[in-house]
Amino acid sequence: MFDGFDLDRVDVGEVSLRVRHGGNGPPVVLLHGHPRTHTTWHAVAPQLVARHTVVAPDLRGYGRSTLPPDEPDHAQSSKRAMARDVARLMTHLGHDRFAVVGHDRGSLVAFRTAMDHPDRVTHLVVMDGLPVLEHLERTDATFALAWWHWWFLGQTAKPAERVICADPDSWYETPPATELGEGNHADLWAALRDPAVVHGMCEDYRAGLVVDRRHDEDDRAAGRRVACPTMLLESGRDDLDLHGDPGAIWPSWLAHPLRHHVIDCGHHQAELAPDEVAAYLLDFLAR
């Protein structure tokens, strides 16, 4: 897994990130979602390295990256803080400008990186994601029922960590190692059985309901938009379209026309359709 890549730990100030990197050419950052680690990209990253330098970190609080002590409004897990990690990581690795690709919760970090660091991000790719504000403003019974984990993980009155950590093997459901890949499966399950990671993931969702929403509201009020070209990869067998066509929701946040493709697979695109994901990324990043 990740043959030819380096595996490092990089201190970016507030946290220490575990990061896999390799290849040559214009840099691209790959950001995983919940509850994965960077190894979710194991079948995509090797297809990019002939043309790109590929950087795949564990987000703060996930995998083997660290998380600072809890702060008011869960600010230590805000997407702004995670985006700052990405910018500092790329500075450490010697890259001034880079493309950023994010899946699921990682798409929120990718979006925030493009919004907060417009002088550094050349391309934005979001996979199965919308700005968190777009979800929260459309919350209704259908959304709450389908995406109930947002509210379970995000509340603090009866912390979800107590339930999850009591029996993580029963709580999480993942495909077998034969489908995920042996290394990816082992890395994911090592994280899921770590109480510190479970807390980090819950804090990610708590931040999403509070401070991340506020940051999106501030951007919209100020008229800020993503300045770089943007592509949306949507899973055809998932439910990102619960609020309607996501391709119609994104343009108000963008300075350029959206490129939008639907991949015929379930939610975890990088694992289920790596060849298609890689092909779309290579084509988009070459533009």
pLDDT recorded at residue 150: 97
In a domain, 272, yes or no: yes
pLDDT recorded at residue 178: 94
Residue 257: partners with Cβ closer than 8 Å, 6 or more residues away: 251
pLDDT recorded at residue 161: 98
Alpha-carbon dihedral sign for residues 55, 60, 63, 68: positive
- Whether residue 29 contacts residue 101, with contact meaning beta carbons closer than 8 Å, is answered with yes
In a domain, 17, yes or no: yes
In the block, tokens 């690709």 appear at: 101
How many domains is the chain partitioned into structurally?
1
In a domain, 230, yes or no: yes
Catalytic residues: 104, 267
Q: What is the span of the domain harbouring residue 216?
A: 6-282
CATH number at residue 140: 3.40.50.1820
In a domain, 287, yes or no: no
Encode the chain (287 residues) as per-residue pLDDT tens digits. Answer: 999 999 999 999 999 999 999 999 999 999 999 999 999 999 999 999 999 999 999 999 999 999 999 999 999 999 999 999 999 999 999 999 999 999 999 999 999 999 999 999 999 999 999 999 999 999 999 999 999 999 999 999 999 999 999 999 999 999 999 999 999 999 999 999 999 999 999 999 999 999 999 999 999 999 999 999 999 999 999 999 999 999 999 999 999 999 999 999 999 999 999 999 999 999 999 98
| Short-list 163, 12, 155, CA closest to 74 | 155
- Edge-to-edge strands of the sheet including 6-11? 6-11, 16-23, 53-57, 27-31, 98-103, 121-127, 230-235, 258-263
List strand residue ranges (DSSP E) for 24-120, in order.
Answer: 27-31, 53-57, 98-103
**pTM of the model as a whole:** 0.98
CA distances from 66 to 41, 50, 59, 259 (A): 20, 31, 9, 34
In a domain, 1, yes or no: no
In a domain, 151, yes or no: yes
